[in-house]
Amino acid sequence: MERGFITGLAVAMALSATPLFFDLALCIAGNLFWPRRPGGVRRAISLAVVVPAHDEESMIARTVLSLKAAGSTSAIFVVAHNCSDGTAKAATDAGAQVVELNNPKLRGKGAALRCGFAAALDAGANAVLVVDADSVVSSNLIAATRAMLEQGAEATQCRYELEIPGPGAQAGHAHPLARLRALAFRGMNVLRARGRAGLGFSTGLFGNGFALTAALLERVPFNANSIAEDVEYHTRLVEEGVQVYWTGDAFVHAHSPASSAAQATQEARWEGGRLHVASRATRRLLTALLHGHWRALETLADVWSLPLSRGILALMLTAALAVDWLHVFALVCAAIGLLYVLESVLLGNEPVRDLAALAGAPLYIAWKALITPLVLRQSRSRAAWARTKREAPQS
């Protein structure tokens, strides 16, 4: 009986970790190749920017000015969604066109995006670029996105990273846990995206820095309403055989909350939202795979992947089980995880500091374990859009 219980536990732990390390292995391999480019019919693109904003008075001007510097000919639509502060005025003063959406029944970022998309398309745009209200963008973002869409892409995603907060200090000297969080974010949103693009999979949507054509929105309406609307909509695209292309030479940087409580809320929302989507998209993705949409395989592995920190924790727990094959499995997965972390470090601008920050990994893993109850609560949540508490960046 005891032996059977241990074997069953070993199988369960291996199954829980397999999607993550399978996906990581694919993405590591994909980074050996150049990201694939679209090969569709060239077309003229009129690109508008949509910025969903909920109580972002302190940051919206910085975002709008960053976008104007990146492409002054593109219209910028800020959707002031159920705001209780001066977001609309700050956006208007910075030079954006403001669409006010004041309806408590329309909850979630998805509602704000649909409102912004409608305004942009009604104004004559045939493609939209989404940028979060707490972000700054590279000077080539709009041009690079437009070029990719003109080459035939229906959907694109640029490089999306976190700014590393450092109260009263240079970002490079920030707290190691903040740097670890940014490193984990880079692995998820840069290394894995670039690796998928190298193998011809769909790069994914990360909620910030992605673009969609009007024709695609007509064919696959943006009806995502979960707290992970980007992941939800991406699963819909993959089901329809649509590939999101990687615009890796342009970027958005989002402001990271400095407090541990705010970080916990934000990460729990991301992780819980992904779990919520995974539980509902699995059957549809399997059906798409059976109908020949082979990109659904990687997307299925992605939505069921544990965060790396939780995957490492699972591998550590396997060491306590006296099952030889499980130890071999754990060693292979650990090697994959190590390669993944090293590649993520090398994709950054400060590899030495990133490597040094890895000394705090045990504390980070423990912190992630502690917020598990919050993640599980968020996985059952609907699309309430609560602004993450954070301090405005110092200019």
Q: Tell me: pLDDT of 134 over 90.
A: yes
Cβ-based neighbours of 307, under 8 Å, separated by 6 or more: 184, 271, 368
The pLDDT confidence band at residue 389, using thresholds 50, 70 and 90, is: low
Structure tokens at 63: 């975002």
Q: Tell me: pLDDT of 45 over 70.
A: yes
- 90 vs 172 pLDDT, higher one: 90
The number of beta carbons lying within 10 Å of the beta carbon of residue 130 is: 24
Residue 126: CA atoms inside 13 Å, Cβ hemisphere, count? 10
Which string of DSSP letters, residue by residue, matches 114-161? HHHHHHHHHTT-SEEEE--TTEEE-TTHHHHHHHHHHTT-SEEEEEEE
Q: What are phi and psi of 36, to 5 degrees?
A: -75, 150
Q: Tell me: pLDDT of 209 over 60.
A: yes
Mean pLDDT of 184-191: 94
What's the pTM? 0.90
Q: Tell me: pLDDT of 194 over 70.
A: yes
Which has the minimum average pLDDT: 9-13, 218-222, 325-329, 344-348? 9-13
The number of beta carbons lying within 10 Å of the beta carbon of residue 61 is: 20
Distance between CA 169 and CA 371 in Å, rounded?
Answer: 28
Distance between CA 298 and CA 294 in Å, rounded?
Answer: 8
Which has the minimum average pLDDT: 73-82, 224-233, 357-366? 357-366
Structure tokens at 73: 């000919």
Structure tokens at 277: 């989507």
Distance between CA 64 and CA 45 in Å, rounded?
Answer: 21
Q: What is the pLDDT of residue 383?
A: 47
The pLDDT confidence band at residue 386, using thresholds 50, 70 and 90, is: low
Q: What is the pLDDT of residue 387?
A: 60
Distance between CA 326 and CA 265 in Å, rounded?
Answer: 34
Distance between CA 369 and CA 367 in Å, rounded?
Answer: 5
Structure tokens at 301: 């592995």
Structure tokens at 286: 């399997």
